[in-house]
Amino acid sequence: MRSLPLPLALTARLTPVAVLACAGWALSSDPAAPAATANHRSSQQAPTGSASAPSSTAVSKSYRAAPAPCTSVPVATVKSLVPGAKTSGKEIPSTDTSLRRTCSWNALKGYDYRWLDVSFEITDSDDAAKKEYQQRVSEKSGGGEVPGVGDAGYSVVNLTTESKQETREGVVLVRASNALVVVTYNGSDFESKKAPSTDEINKGAIKAAKSAVAALGSGTAG
């Protein structure tokens, strides 16, 4: 009986997103204006100025916390994408679970190995998420847009070979308002040394991504 080498665990790692600082408003009056007129205008305009100040510094933001990642993908989907895995998944430790959470599922069934990661990252604003999304997409090549998921979606699949063993990995990146969702899905066959098809990996990653984006609305909308 030959022993099978265990695959190298591939996990998506998220980089922290810089926090945006909001500039305040400073109001001034003209000391040269007549006292009665200045006081009259000041009393009329003060409510309007104070009421408009908060809206001038407001940012577009729909989500305030990351959802529970290990329940973001339906059990039936986990079973189909990662046969033999514990459907409860395993959450990866995070320095701030309110902003960044990841769950992983992996299993070796017979000679077939599958790995699925689902990660959530909550940024301070839509603009911050857009910037981070565009930067990550620019770092990848050979992929394409994923329509009908979030505000923007991108998918890429790559094949790697190590010691004649192929592994095919798909990554789907989605932006939904101020949230980023990253799904990583890969697989190998240790008997044939071949990897699953590009179509299988890509469709599987997109399916998991759609479920994860839907889970963003689970009590996290602000």
Could you tell me if 143 and 52 lie in one domain?
Answer: no
Strand partners, 51: none
Which residue range(s) make up the domain with 45? Answer: 28-58
For residues 179 and 120, is the Cβ–Cβ distance under 8 A?
Answer: yes
**Over the stretch 37-48, which tens digit does the pLDDT of each residue have?**
444 444 444 444
Count of other CB atoms within 10 angstroms of residue 166:
16
**How many angstroms separate the CA atoms of 183 and 118, rounded?**
5
Quickly state the pLDDT bin for 75 (edges 50, 70, 90). Answer: very high
What is the rounded distance in angstroms from the CA atom of residue 90 to the CA atom of residue 28? 56
Which amino acid is it at 58? A
pLDDT over 70 percentage in the chain: 71
Domain termination site, one of 12, 38, 58:
58
126 with 43, same domain: the answer is no
> Are 54 and 73 contained in the same domain?
no
pLDDT at residue 58, as a whole number: 57
Q: Do 54 and 113 fall within a single domain? A: no
Can you tell me the distance from the alpha carbon of 121 to that of 179, in angstroms, rounded to the nearest whole number? 6
Q: Are 49 and 94 in the same domain?
A: no
Sign of CA dihedral 48, 53, 54, 59: positive
Quote the percentage of the chain above a pLDDT of 90. 67
How far apart (Å, rounded) are the C-alpha atoms in residues 65 and 206?
A: 23
Please provide residue 123's backbone torsions phi and psi, each rounded to the nearest 5 degrees: -100, 175
User: Do 144 and 169 have their domain in common?
Assistant: yes
Q: Which of 19, 36, 58 is the last residue of a domain?
A: 58
Per residue in 126-174, pLDDT (tens digit) is 999 999 999 999 998 889 999 999 999 999 999 999 999 999 999 999 9
Q: What is the CATH number of the domain that holds 184?
A: 2.60.120
Beta sheet of 165-176, edge-to-edge order: 90-92, 100-109, 112-122, 179-189, 165-176, 152-162, 144-145
